[in-house]
Amino acid sequence: MSADRSPVEADVCVIGAGPAGALVADRLADAGHDVVILDAGPRFDESDRIERMERALRPAYDRPDVWGMGGERDAHSNSGERPYPLNHARVKGIGGSTLHWQGMVMRLHEADFETRSRHGVGRDWPISYGDLRPYYAAAERELGVAGADDNPFGPPREEPFPMPAFAPSYSDGLFAEACEQLGIAMHSVPNARNSEPYDDRGACVGYGTCQPVCPSGAKYGADVHVRAAEEKGATVIDRAPVQHLDHGADSIRAAAYATPDGETHEQEADAFVLACGGVETPRLLLLSASQDYPDGLANSSGLVGSCFMDHLFAGMGGTVDEPTRQNHVGFLTSESHQFYDADAEIGPFKLEFFNYAGPSPVETALEGDEWGDALLDRLRTDYGTHVGLGALVEQLPREESYIGLDPDRTDGHGNPVPRIHWSVDDRALRTLERANEIQRAVLEEMDAEITWAVGPENTGPAYHHMGTTRMGEDPDESVVDPDLRTHDLSNCWIASSSVFPTGGAVNPTLTIAALALRTAEAVDDALRSDWLV
């Protein structure tokens, strides 16, 4: 990591040190290219993770506090029909949001790439599942995925997962009895956490605080590949938020970035890879508007920032008259893709069986005034009898949802903050209602007392930012081509969930990783081709 944060000689400048940027940087450094990574946040000391876990357990701290989110650096605004709490689930720093993610890594289904052709809604991807399939396998090896080939509804696979799946939890067994009666198939969840030692990292030791922090390092974080890239010669400059991209009519010349001491530098390179996520990537392009691109860089299509998507959450839970939290597990071990098949009216969704429903012992203790034996009696009675189910629901790409620039509010550097205009389509609302129906049926079969529900009226985001610089063949209808190179700029690629034409109903990180590996190949080919000279 550069101590003085000065620019370096570089073939490639990668902006963002999350999973996409980290994997691209590692692959390109391994190919012998000089790589520099710029990231807006700091490098976090691994030895601080126990302290961060303890902070996460204390009710006085909110999730953004655990990783230092908030303030002028991370300011944003909302203008849509539904508020979007952006900072609740993102991290700026080396490793990005994988520092606090839940770690579930599924492949998109084959149908997800053909939503328009199959159902007449959304958009088709310019690539197929078959095109991405080998990169999915490579991404599973790179991240280290524990899983089993037991999902009868999932896409075809070509090889076993790198590690065996985690065993079903105690509460999974309670759900399984009800699901068997209802004809609902359960199967394992692929997890980017070690079920056994892998890649010089130990197996999961069960802290149970995976979200927002894994103290042991068993859960994958993109800082793993940042360090690997550094070992191969890459330079990392942290706390270096990029202010704008200096460019000509068809290429980027330099990334102008600020430093904590108030200076601004320009990092030049032959190729640039934007890996800032679905919000900051379009924001950077919009901040880089010029005479050549008055509506924002790489925005001849007018789609930069447009069609912002997230997965919507549907959930329901309550209590049963028996213990549910023996051998507590802090992540999901069972799910069901049985209801993933979609049509024009009802979208795909995956059903999740929670291992961590209900309040923690600390929260339970703080709910009353008892002490001593009375408190212990209440904990034995009230704690550990909760059950809950969740679901991720697809949201269609629509121009009514977008990321723009706030005309009135600026960050600490005087730049307009991102303004989020988020709305939910009617198909997603119908799908949320359908998910709730199935969740209610399972809980009633378990004789649970239902105490909470999240559905069409009070749904919230899963914090999977997608769709704001989508890929496609037609430059008038997309921002990047199938290799994720921008249509407008010859030396700029975007490696991010922002390129997703649609989002499906599974967690996006494995697809981000697969696309990043594919992009690294494209950048490597371009650097070795005639365009450079």
Which helix (H) or strand (E) covers residue 402, if one does? strand 402-410
Tokens of 385: 């009898």
- Say if CB 515 and CB 134 are below 8 A apart: no
Tokens of 366: 């703080």
- Which residue matches tokens 């303004």? 419
Sequential DSSP letters for 54-76: HHHHSTTS-HHHHTT--SGGG--
b/e per residue 207-232 (b: at least 16 CB within 10 A): bbbbbbbbbbbbbbbbbbbbbbbbeb
Gap between the Cα atoms of 179 and 195, Å rounded: 26
Q: Provide the edge-to-edge strand list for the sheet that holds 242-247.
A: 242-247, 252-258, 264-268
- Say if CB 257 and CB 272 are below 8 A apart: no
Gap between the Cα atoms of 390 and 396, Å rounded: 20
Handedness of CA 204, 209, 215, 217 (dihedral sign): positive
Distances in Å between the Cα of 147 and the Cα atoms of 187, 191, 475, 527 are 10, 7, 39, 36
DSSP 101: -
Q: Known catalytic residues? A: 464
